[in-house]
Homo-oligomer: A and B are copies of this chain.
Amino acid sequence: MAFDLVLRGTLVRPAGPTPGGWIAVSGERIAAIGAGAPPPARAEEDFGDALLFPGFVDGQTHATSYRGLSGFAATSRSALAGGVTTMVDMPYDNPDPLDTVARLEAKVAAVESLSACDVALYATVAPGQGTGEMAALAAAGVCAFKISSFESHPVRFPRLPADETRAILAASVPTGLPVGLHNEDQEIVRGAIAALKAAGKTTPEWHEPSRPLAAELAATAHFLELGRATGAHVHIVHLSHPLGYELVARYREEGVRATGEMCVHYLHFDAARDTARLGARMKVSPPIRAGVVDALWRSLAADRFALVSSDHSSWPVDNKLVPSIFDAGAGIPGLETLVPSFYTDLLARTDRPAERLALEVAEKPARLFGLWGVKGALEPGFDADVAVLAPGAWRFDASTTRDGLNWSPYDGETFAARVAATYLRGRKVWDGTSVLGAAGGRFVPRRG
């Protein structure tokens, strides 16, 4: 009996790397993994010394917040080019967020018709909507809920009042789903922006002061207390500073189901060093801060992160290059740089970079979002999603990206490895140069 496909290379597994390993695929699943001479297969590809990772799971993607559901087409192709086989897409879609089963069904349909990679979906709850739809959304397979303490857009990305946040948390408990928070205190941020604008301070270096750490930590602490009160899983979708991870850890030690997510750019850029060069191209919220990168790497060493994600946002650069930093869109593309840049930094800063990469960008998000058993590991029975990372210096040129955006704050950087191939459910979908084939992605419902 022959397998459909065998892939050869160094397998990256929690037990350590397995050089001379192979992955045997039957249909869409991993049928076997092994070391040494591989079994017979109808097809075989040998990647030599390259690293074979589980297909990466990006825990935070905004594929559809700009172009709407049609955004899946380009964003998902970018994902595959970055080794990401599953995007966990945020609910703040243009024009309407995913807050009903009907919209979920529409988004699932869009995934299945447009997406080149697999997709798990967050849902949200609109202000004033009540919690009535949450159980049905959970039953239909959304992987988490997300809300915000800051209004980025009145309809698409609104602020939830604290009483509704509390009700949402309480309603999440029987579903078992995490509730993610965009954690900035609206009044503090708006007050700071107004003051800066009034002072004519609208150039990029004022972005960070306009969203002070206090805004982030105050909103975080407030939300964590509501987690304590309700018993919900309270997940902070990004924290820009080590103090935030310490705060989350403290509540966790006290029995609160609290987690905090790292986005990869906080581990790479420094406001003091990079703002002059990148300007709005590195505008994210909460902002990249000055002088905390080393401390954030110590947070990683202390295993403080629930996962590491891209927070990929599909803003065209025109949305960034506007006269006032306060009018520039927040968010950056990141699906094609997530893995190469993080791996490059891991190589420089840690032991066992490959295992850590697999842990933070595959296993942890798969477990957090209920995809484990299907996604996140090179295990028999899991989907045959594989990302091949080939070591070697690789200069990243943002003009070549597949995201339909073609800009990046990482433009021109040299990474220590590149994504040489990507397989989705046993099918080669990226060959190091091109995305292969048409849309073939699926919605991945949360399990258990």
Contacts and interface: CB of A to CB of B under 8 A. Distances in A.
Interface of A: 1, 3, 11, 13-16, 18, 21-22, 24, 26, 29-37, 39-40, 161-164, 166-167, 185-192, 212-215, 217-226, 228-230, 243, 250, 372-373, 377, 379-382
Contact of A225 (B1, B26, B214, B250): B214
Contacts of A162: 185-188, 191, 215, 218
Q: Nearest 7 CB-CB pairs, A to B?
A: A163-B191, A32-B34, A214-B229, A35-B380, A221-B221, A162-B187, A35-B381
A34 B35 contact: no
Nearest to A382: B15
A32 B24 contact: yes
Nearest to A376: B15
Given A161-B191, A185-B222, A191-B163, A36 B31 contact: yes
Contact of A39 (B1, B215, B228): B1
A368 B26 CA distance: 36
Contacts of A15: 372-373, 377, 379, 382
Given A1-B40, A218-B226, A221-B225, 7 more contacts: A14-B14, A26-B37, A29-B36, A161-B191, A166-B188, A218-B221, A219-B222
Contacts of A30: 34-35
A7 to B, nearest CB: 13
Most chain B beta-carbon contacts within 10 A, residue among A11, A30, A192, A380: A380
Contacts of A187: 161-164
Contacts of A35: 29-32, 380-381
Contact of A222 (B18, B191, B218, B377): B218
A214 B226 contact: yes
A403 to B, nearest CB: 31
Nearest to A32: B34
A25 to B, nearest CB: 10
Give the oligomeric copy count: 4
Most chain B beta-carbon contacts within 10 A, residue among A186, A372, A379: A379
Nearest to A251: B221
Given A13-B379, A222-B185, A32 B26 contact: no
Nearest to A217: B225
A380 B33 contact: yes
Contacts of A190: 163
Contacts of A243: 228
Contacts of A224: 221
A224 to B, nearest CB: 7
Nearest to A22: B32
Nearest to A186: B162
A21 B214 contact: no
Contacts of A1: 37, 39-40
A2 B253 CA distance: 51
A1 B38 CA distance: 8
Given A162-B218, A185-B222, A222-B185, A26 B36 contact: yes
A18 B163 contact: no
28 contacts: A3-B39, A14-B14, A15-B372, A15-B379, A16-B373, A18-B380, A24-B39, A31-B34, A31-B36, A33-B33, A33-B34, A35-B380, A39-B40, A161-B191, A162-B185, A162-B186, A162-B188, A163-B189, A163-B190, A163-B191, A163-B192, A166-B188, A214-B228, A217-B225, A218-B226, A220-B225, A221-B221, A250-B250
A447 to B, nearest CB: 11
B380 A21 contact: yes
A18 B223 CA distance: 38
B37 A379 contact: no
Contact of A379 (B18, B191, B218, B220): B18
A3 B26 CA distance: 18
Contacts of A381: 18, 21, 35-36
Contact of A32 (B32, B40, B215, B217): B32
Contacts of A18: 379-381
Contacts of A382: 15
A212 B166 CA distance: 11
